[in-house]
Amino acid sequence: MIQLRQIMSFALAVFVPALAIAQGTTGSITGVAREEGTGRPLPNARVTVVGTSISVPTRDDGTYILREVPAGAREVRVIALGHAAQRLSVTVPAGGSATLDFALPQAAVQLEQVVTTATGQQGKNEVGNDIPRISASTLNATKPIANITDLLNARAPGVNVLGGTLIGTGQRIRIRGVNSLSLDNDPIVIIDGIRMTSSTGASAIGIGGSRPSRLSDIDPNQIESIEVVKGPSASTLYGTDAANGVIVITTKRGTVGHPKWDAYIQRGRYNDHNNYPTAYTMFGHSPTGLLTRTDATGAAACTLPDVSRGTCIVDSVKSLNIFAEPDLTPLAPSYEEQYGVGVSGGTETLRYFLQGTYSGDQGMYKVPKFEIDRLLAKNGFIPGEQLRPNALTRATLRGNTNIQLSPLADIAVSTVFISSAQRLPQTENNTTGLTSSAYRGPGYRENGFISGTTIYRNGYRAFTPGDIFQESVTQDINRFIGSINPNWRPLGWLSTRGNFGIDFTNRVDADICRQGQCSDFGSSRQGFKIDSRANTFQYTVDLSATGQFHLSDALSSKTTVGGQYFRSNFHRNVAEGDVLPPGGTTVTSGAVPFASEATTYIVNAGTFLEQTFSLRDRLFLTGAFRADNNSTFGTKATSVIYPKASLSWVLSEEPFFPKLGFVSQLRLRTAYGQSGTSPGSNDAIPFFAAANANIADKATAAVTFSAVGNPDLKPERATEVEGGLDIDLFDNRASITLTGYKKRTRDALVSRVLPPSAGVSASRFENIGAVQNSGFESSIRAQLIQTRLFGFDAQLNYATNNNKLLKLGGVPPILLTSAGDIRQMEGYPLFGAWPRRILNFNDFNGDGILTANEVIVSDSNIFLGRTSPHVELSFSPGVDLFNNMVRVTALLDHKGGYFVKNSNERIRCGTNVNCSGVANPQSPLWEQARVVALREHPARTDGPFWEKGDFTKLREVALTLNAPKSWTGGRFMRVDRLNVTLAARNLGTWTKFTGIDPELSTSPGGTGVDVEVQDPFQAVPPPRLYTIRFNFGF
């Protein structure tokens, strides 16, 4: 009721005075927008009366009508993708109509002319920030895009994306570095004007590391564009939580014209191309008999230092690479498929877009042949979900409508329903996971029997895939995202805007081991079933009003006021039944029941005011502030005020600017702004929690003190300054964007370790830290050659990021791992690598084997470097042939200046004694040295397993064939447009990293070291993907 009253107050405050001053007469403007030279009509171009909120898109035939335009001299601007903007003047007669036609020159490079901001769409020149835009619809049609990660990865400078390793698992997106020590560093996501749940790690059931991502629910085929609002200088008005940047997704919409049917069919095939480590076992005997040291099977085995010491006389060395053995490998080619059909069109009054899509993705995990034989002999069949335990299918139905209620009001309605089913294998950091056994077995097949059988494990350490994949983890999603975006322009100078919406996700996670199945570990074979049901609600209420008016002939003003309310509700119930009877598959059938419940509520409310002055429409000065409060702040914390300011100056339009023929446009820009990140829902309050207590063999209610809380808790506050320039050159044949930024996060929340003697929680959040990110970003796009038969264009993105922990609030350095090799240390990058290192090694006795006295290890941990890339470079060339009938593109991606721990080799050498450096007499000394440091040296350190993570990848190559006009235009099967794209992803990697893949990492989601420090531990890297896609237009 309170909120309704406030909304009414808002409406009255804005509109009554507005209506009261409505006066004067209006007219209309009609015309057509065409392409210069060809005369081709330009549909969906944006026609705007400068200095007002009056704006319409052009129809299919390029025509437009602007109604209710204040009479008098007006300027009208037209912008269209791929064309240079054009501005013309016209006099609008009162009660009459003026005609104004446009001829827009082509821009060789795809220049974006508008950007989406928290206060609505604005001309790019008005904004003091660099907000790159990714044209998703183009990429989908012409690139091997399987998910939203593929859309984002290496497309925009300063946006670092680490993809998931399993089908359907999450991605880590970091924009301009890592801001927070303790909180989520993910950007927020806005879709069609409302906040969207985008959490990674969105599952109640772990499989070893990777978890699904809610961002991945969105079908990339339904996205028109993605804009990346990079930092606080641009994201201020998005409110608390926007400090890590904002991903703004705009879905496809209909255009005025006849119904257009579009369909696509994409089929893909995954092929594994990665090199997996070989397992070695060195058999030998001591001078007096068998060695006491044994391998996993109890067989006598020795290490290279044993040989050097003479305590082992080698009899034989065996090696095995499970992944290279056709009957053993747990990987097999798999498929990817995407289908979609949609229709769009409409009139000026009603535009629509309706699309249904389906996608299926199958991971490469499979039960290998030797296990198929065993299971078929035992059970007669293998269920499909166990045979191929990783898969994702998703069906999406989207309906977007734009309704022109009157010349002064329109409303956009966006709805999407998503239904997906996912299954995930046991893998990664998981004792009973596939890779724990596949990477860490011995160098031979006869390593003991599969539990309960007399069949060899065939080199798998403890468990074999047939049993491992019998544990079935699934996630079913039913999700609805709906938004209503009304716009009302009661007056030429006043427009109001609303975004109301809900993102609702119903999630069912399940995990089952049937009685007598799964890995023989713990009590798994007694059977269990976990059923977790979660509902997530994300509500958005966003209202604003913008007034635009001329203060003088040269000076214009635009004022926006608004308020936003976001509420996130999460409810989960988990039921578990353990000890299942034969055939039992439900929680109910379990003899031992468990249940749990979890709830989270977070509310954020804010108001903002933004004022922009524009001088002659080429110098734009903006100032704004936002007042925010949040349910997670402490009781002593008050509202926070985030200010912002920006300046954009189109210098090349100034009379004094020299007429340089090669400069089409030069714009200087700078921006300053603040934003925040809120703590967790209960971080501020002291509370008790219910405890598990079994007193005298009876479950008894108990409470224990859980958290001390922090009443002073407030958000982290990030302040950013960025500056740069945009240059368009050679009649828009090339464009260069250069940006430098410096971002400082103060009041950084440090999960301050509490002393054990306090007897309370292990830590609590305190606003005591400070973090700095600075860097440089550049993007160069150029159409280098453009002839009828041959064209060559290229885009180069380059970005650096320097990250430093400025202040830790006086607390001791935070050691994030037991070995202390990942630390938060003042003056150094967040999550820095601090291993003990090998200072020197030398094979003094010349026997080709290193022992402890031949390896010198540092006495203490030494700073090695960053754990996230310092440099990112991507290059995407494109070649057009035969009047654009053929287009070939590629994407090269380089990341460098960081370190990754080769944790797979660490555990293979240290625990499983099967790596080359420990058991291969041919292994180089550097491999042996780190094994000695880990196993033999008093330091017992795995520090030397940190390696440079730098890599260059050929991510994409694509060939698109556009059918000639003679084939289309309705001549063949009524097809109006047709193209075919052959593409491949993950084609090659160049790196010195000796692990499987330098980009390999689990993606658990959440916060802290597990997320921020890439860890390839027992993960399987992404395979190569080949796709063929047909796009039809009817």
Partner 1 sequence: MAIVNHGARLTRVFSLAITAAVLASCNRDRVLTVTDPDVINPSNLASAEAAEALRVGAISRLTDVTAGLIPQGGSLGEGVFQFGGALADEWRSTDTFVQRDQTDQRAIDATNSAMTLIARSLNRTRVAAIQAIPVLKQYKPLSISDVGQMFWIRGWAEMSIAETFCNGSPISFLDASNAIQYGDPEPNTKIYERALASFDTATQNAPAGDARADTVKWLSAISKARVMLDLGQFAQAGTTVTAANIPDSFKFFTSYSQPTTDNQIWALNNSAGRWMPADNEGPLGLNIRTANDPRVPVCVGGQGTATTAYPNSCKAFDPNQTRATGFDNLTGSGNFLVQLVWPTRESDVAIVMATEAHLIRAEAALRSGDPVEFLARLNFLRANSDLFKQPATLCRATVQVQGCPTVPVGGTLLPPLTDPGTQAGREDLLFRERGFWLWSTGHRLPDLRRLVRPVADGGFGRAESAVYPTGPYYKGGVYGSNKSLVIPTAEENNPQFHGCLDLNP
- Residue whose entry in the numeric block shows the structure tokens 């437009």: 64
Examine residue 630 and tell whether it contacts partner 1 (CB under 8 A).
Answer: yes
**Cβ(194)–Cβ(540) under 8 Å?**
yes
Contact stretch for partner 1 (CB under 8 A) within 695-703, 839-847, 973-981, 1005-1013: 695-703
Examine residue 203 and tell whether it contacts partner 1 (CB under 8 A).
Answer: no
CB atoms within 10 A of CB 645: 18
In whole angstroms, the minimum distance from the beta carbon of 631 to partner 1 comes to 5
Examine residue 310 and tell whether it contacts partner 1 (CB under 8 A).
Answer: no
Examine residue 492 and tell whether it contacts partner 1 (CB under 8 A).
Answer: no
HSE at residue 79, side-chain half, CA atoms within 13 A, is 15
Q: What's the burial of 696, exposed, middle or buried (CB within 10 Å: 0-12/13-18/19+)?
A: exposed
**Cβ(343)–Cβ(354) under 8 Å?**
yes
Examine residue 552 and tell whether it contacts partner 1 (CB under 8 A).
Answer: yes
Question: x/- site string to partner 1, residues 354 to 393, per CB under 8 A?
Answer: ----------------------------------------
In whole angstroms, the minimum distance from the beta carbon of 352 to partner 1 comes to 33
Question: x/- site string to partner 1, residues 23 to 52, per CB under 8 A?
Answer: x-----------------------------
Our CB check for partner 1 shows the closer of 758 and 788 to be 758
In whole angstroms, the minimum distance from the beta carbon of 88 to partner 1 comes to 16
Question: x/- site string to partner 1, residues 709 to 728, per CB under 8 A?
Answer: x-------------------
In whole angstroms, the minimum distance from the beta carbon of 397 to partner 1 comes to 33
Task: Kindly state the helix (H) or strand (E) to which residue 931 belongs, with its residue range.
Answer: helix 925-935
Residue of 631, 875, 896, 868 lying closest to 773 (CA atoms) = 868
DSSP state for residue 899 in the 8-state scheme = E
- Ramachandran region, residue 883 (left: φ > 0; alpha: ψ -120 to 50; beta: rest): left
List Cβ neighbours of 501 (8 Å cut-off, separation of 6 or more).
192, 193, 194, 414, 481, 482, 483, 484, 539, 540
**Cβ(509)–Cβ(534) under 8 Å?**
yes
Residues 839-878 that bind partner 1 (CB under 8 A): none
Residues 421-460 that bind partner 1 (CB under 8 A): 431, 451
Q: Which amino acid is at 241?
A: D
Examine residue 685 and tell whether it contacts partner 1 (CB under 8 A).
Answer: yes
Rounded distance between C-alpha atoms, residue 894 and residue 160, angstroms: 11
Examine residue 3 and tell whether it contacts partner 1 (CB under 8 A).
Answer: yes
393 strand-pairing partners: 360, 421
| Strand spans (E) along 579-661 | 592-615, 619-630, 640-650
Q: Which amino acid is at 356?
A: G
537 strand-pairing partners: 504, 569
Work out which of 288, 454, 757, 840 binds partner 1, going by CB under 8 A.
757
Work out which of 384, 812, 924, 964 binds partner 1, going by CB under 8 A.
812
Q: Which amino acid is at 189?
A: V
Q: What's the burial of 286, exposed, middle or buried (CB within 10 Å: 0-12/13-18/19+)?
A: middle
Contact stretch for partner 1 (CB under 8 A) within 204-212, 497-505, 677-685, 954-962: 677-685
Work out which of 79, 161, 248, 907 binds partner 1, going by CB under 8 A.
907
Work out which of 397, 421, 508, 754 binds partner 1, going by CB under 8 A.
754
Rounded distance between C-alpha atoms, residue 155 and residue 487, angstroms: 32
In whole angstroms, the minimum distance from the beta carbon of 617 to partner 1 comes to 12
Examine residue 539 and tell whether it contacts partner 1 (CB under 8 A).
Answer: no
Examine residue 992 and tell whether it contacts partner 1 (CB under 8 A).
Answer: no
**Cβ(600)–Cβ(569) under 8 Å?**
yes
Residues 498-537 that bind partner 1 (CB under 8 A): 520, 522-523
Contact stretch for partner 1 (CB under 8 A) within 18-26, 351-359, 527-535, 645-653: 18-26
In whole angstroms, the minimum distance from the beta carbon of 125 to partner 1 comes to 20
Question: x/- site string to partner 1, residues 638 to 657, per CB under 8 A?
Answer: -x------------------
Work out which of 454, 582, 695, 970 binds partner 1, going by CB under 8 A.
695
The C-alpha angle with vertex 906 and arms to 294 and 440, in degrees rounded to 5, equals 50
Examine residue 80 and tell whether it contacts partner 1 (CB under 8 A).
Answer: no
Residues 759-778 that bind partner 1 (CB under 8 A): 759-760, 762
Count the residues of the shown chain that bind partner 1, applying the rule CB under 8 A.
112
Contact stretch for partner 1 (CB under 8 A) within 170-178, 622-630, 650-658, 1012-1020: 622-630
Examine residue 629 and tell whether it contacts partner 1 (CB under 8 A).
Answer: yes
In whole angstroms, the minimum distance from the beta carbon of 789 to partner 1 comes to 50
List Cβ neighbours of 711 (8 Å cut-off, separation of 6 or more).
634, 635, 636, 637, 684
Our CB check for partner 1 shows the closer of 376 and 690 to be 690
Residue of 30, 101, 31 lying closest to 69 (CA atoms) = 30
**Cβ(76)–Cβ(86) under 8 Å?**
no
1026 strand-pairing partners: 269, 984
Examine residue 593 and tell whether it contacts partner 1 (CB under 8 A).
Answer: yes
DSSP state for residue 124 in the 8-state scheme = G
Work out which of 121, 286, 535, 682 binds partner 1, going by CB under 8 A.
682
